[in-house]
Amino acid sequence: MIAIHQSESSECALASLAMVANAHGLQLDLFDLRRRFPVSIKGATLQQLIANAGALNFSSRPLRLEIDELAQLALPCILHWDLNHFVVLKKVGRGHITLLDPAVGERRLPLAEVSRHFTGVALELTPNAAFQPADQRQRVALSALTGKVRGLKRSLLQIFAVAVVLELFAIAAPLLNQLVVDDAIATHDADLLSVLIIGFALLLVIQTAVGLARSWMVMLLGQSLSLQWASNVFAHLIKLPVEYFEKRHLGDVVSRFGSVGSIQKTLTTSVIEAVLDGIMGVAALGMMLLYSLKLSAVVVGSVLIYAVLRWVAYRPFRDAAAERLVVAARENTHFLETLRAITPLKLFGREQERRARWQNLLVEVQNRDVRTAKMNIGFSTANTFVSGAENLLVFWLGAGLVMQSGTAGATGGVASVFTIGMLFAFISYKGQFSSRVSALINYAVEIKMLSLHAERLGDIVLSTPEANELPANDLAHLEPSVELKGVSFRYGEGEPWILKEANLRLEAGQSVATRVRHENRENGV
């Protein structure tokens, strides 16, 4: 069960409902729930949450309880939090609970702190007889995120072709080690050594030139794509209705828009590199197998261990990255709003209050960074140990093969030849294979992490824009009046009607005030 972060400031109820539904096998996302159950800027009430859960075929059981009774709840369930928020209770332990907070992510809190936030209201959700597990999540296509991009395929093919030429030089380089050691040094042939060095020096010059051309092409493609993609997304963003911006924090919108850059960088570099690393990894493995099956098995085993470690670490890294984006967006919002309201803040002497609040938000961001750094340290340490053990084992077994080959040759026995030059060449290919496949695994994880940025950017590009503006007309001949016929208005689904089938006509110069009473409350229009 993973956390789903709310996109709007008032949709914690929808996010909590989605998390509980996902835990029962009904895979939902906020895009779909937002369309089915619109929520006003005031948020959803418990009654609305129960109605929405019923529409998803859940039976609801609202409860009032004390802190020591949390362990008796059917998990996962929804808790009312801080009088204006909903969270999901994931686990109850000894002296602590684990929450999935739509605003922050997964949290582990001691019961003493829970008592300061929990209002005593919980909602258990149980699938009824009509409930059917399904995957109703909306897949976000790349074309929907970025729009049309001119020249993308042609540029990618050109970069790929140049990169293939570059990699051919890299796969031939280890042969120099073997030729120098086994042919030039062993026979004391200075002329052969000179020829080899000159030949590979020419290859080095060509390789450097090709690498420069590739880097230049990647730079140009990145700039072109960045401009086109950012322009497409921004054009869509400014067409969204005002309600979209009213329900979201400014920093969160900026953070989501910034995901364009992360996606563009990954697609223009990581995808090409991943394909090339896969091809070159297979080529390096083939060369290794020509030298020694035993040594190749050791190297492949080490890479498989790295792949398992990387896969196990994926979910914690993704959750940490998601939480970091959310808290960083909140910190950025506070910073921007402080600058925008600096004049009234100074007039009322509230600078220190804003500074303290911003500092607390910055500490939250740094805490997420420390958490990620700790995971990186653990993962890097494990990888260093595995890599070091692989090198020791390859040197040990490889040196044994060289000694066995020399002993067999001296005694006239029959054995496969494995020279010192072959060992050096194998180690070079081993380095290429390990680095290529490790990079391929990293790129695969990086590409998979794109789903995080795709979900965040999808909140912008998948939102329905306003209808196109009508062309400008000459309105001078029209009578300046406003007429309403059968107009109804309320702030959100489930909210009371402010206007219901209203009919009204206002002539030029008229002013009308309307008072609406609802449940002992008055609204002025």
pLDDT digits (tens, 9 = 90+) for 400-409: 888 887 665 5
pLDDT digits (tens, 9 = 90+) for 304-333: 998 898 888 888 888 888 888 888 888 888
pLDDT digits (tens, 9 = 90+) for 91-147: 888 888 999 988 888 888 888 888 888 998 999 999 988 888 888 777 666 666 655
Q: Please state, as a whole number, how many other Cβ atoms lie within 10 Å of the Cβ of residue 395.
A: 13
C-alpha span between 123 and 73 (Å, rounded): 9
Where in the sequence numbering do the catalytic residues fall? 12
- Please, which residues have CB within 8 angstroms of residue 168's CB and are 6 or more apart in sequence? none
For position 414, what pLDDT does the model report?
38
For position 405, what pLDDT does the model report?
73
Which position has the higher pLDDT, 369 or 215?
369
Write out the two tokens for 212. Answer: 């420069």
C-alpha span between 85 and 12 (Å, rounded): 6
Q: What is the mean pLDDT of the segment spanning 36-48?
A: 81
Q: How confident is the model at residue 88 (pLDDT cuts 50, 70, 90)?
A: very high
Say whether pLDDT at 525 is over 60. Answer: no
C-alpha span between 97 and 71 (Å, rounded): 9
- Please, which residues have CB within 8 angstroms of residue 509's CB and are 6 or more apart in sequence? none
Q: What is the mean pLDDT of the segment spanning 74-103?
A: 89
What backbone torsions phi and psi does residue 484 show, to the nearest 5 degrees?
A: -110, 135
Alpha helices per DSSP H over 341-465: 342-347, 351-411, 420-461
pLDDT digits (tens, 9 = 90+) for 479-505: 778 888 888 887 766 677 888 888 888
C-alpha span between 89 and 77 (Å, rounded): 5
C-alpha span between 57 and 489 (Å, rounded): 29
DSSP for residue 72: G
Write out the two tokens for 168. Answer: 């051919």
pLDDT digits (tens, 9 = 90+) for 247-273: 787 877 888 888 887 787 777 777 777
Strand boundaries in 75-200, DSSP class E: 77-81, 85-93, 96-101, 105-110, 118-127, 134-135
Range of weakest confidence among 28-37, 84-93, 153-162, 355-364: 153-162
Say whether pLDDT at 78 is over 90. Answer: yes
Q: How confident is the model at residue 80 (pLDDT cuts 50, 70, 90)?
A: very high
For position 159, what pLDDT does the model report?
72
pLDDT > 70 fraction of the chain, expressed in percent and rounded:
86
For position 212, what pLDDT does the model report?
79
In the chain, DSSP finds a helix count (H) and a strand count (E) of: 16, 12
Instruction: Tell the residue number behind the tokens 């409860």, with chain if given.
Output: 63
C-alpha span between 128 and 58 (Å, rounded): 6
Q: How confident is the model at residue 20 (pLDDT cuts 50, 70, 90)?
A: very high
Spatial contact of 81 and 69, defined as CB atoms under 8 Å apart:
no
Q: What is the mean pLDDT of the segment spanning 208-237?
A: 78
pLDDT > 90 fraction of the chain, expressed in percent and rounded:
7
Q: How confident is the model at residue 413 (pLDDT cuts 50, 70, 90)?
A: very low
Range of weakest confidence among 47-61, 95-109, 460-474: 460-474
Q: Please, which residues bridge with residue 381 across strands?
A: none
For position 148, what pLDDT does the model report?
64
What backbone torsions phi and psi does residue 486 show, to the nearest 5 degrees?
A: 65, 35
C-alpha span between 268 and 256 (Å, rounded): 20
pLDDT digits (tens, 9 = 90+) for 414-446: 346 778 878 888 888 888 888 888 888 888 888
C-alpha span between 136 and 31 (Å, rounded): 10
- Please, which residues have CB within 8 angstroms of residue 22's CB and are 6 or more apart in sequence? 1, 2, 4, 28
C-alpha span between 499 and 405 (Å, rounded): 94
Q: How confident is the model at residue 473 (pLDDT cuts 50, 70, 90)?
A: low
Domains in the chain, CATH or no CATH each: 12-135 (3.90.70.10), 152-461 (1.20.1560.10), 482-524 (no CATH)
Write out the two tokens for 364. Answer: 């939250």
Please state whether the predicted TM-score (pTM) of the whole model is above 0.75: no
Q: How confident is the model at residue 520 (pLDDT cuts 50, 70, 90)?
A: low
DSSP for residue 508: T
Write out the two tokens for 487. Answer: 């107009």
Q: How confident is the model at residue 19 (pLDDT cuts 50, 70, 90)?
A: very high
Q: What is the mean pLDDT of the chain?
A: 81
For position 10, what pLDDT does the model report?
78
For position 89, what pLDDT does the model report?
92
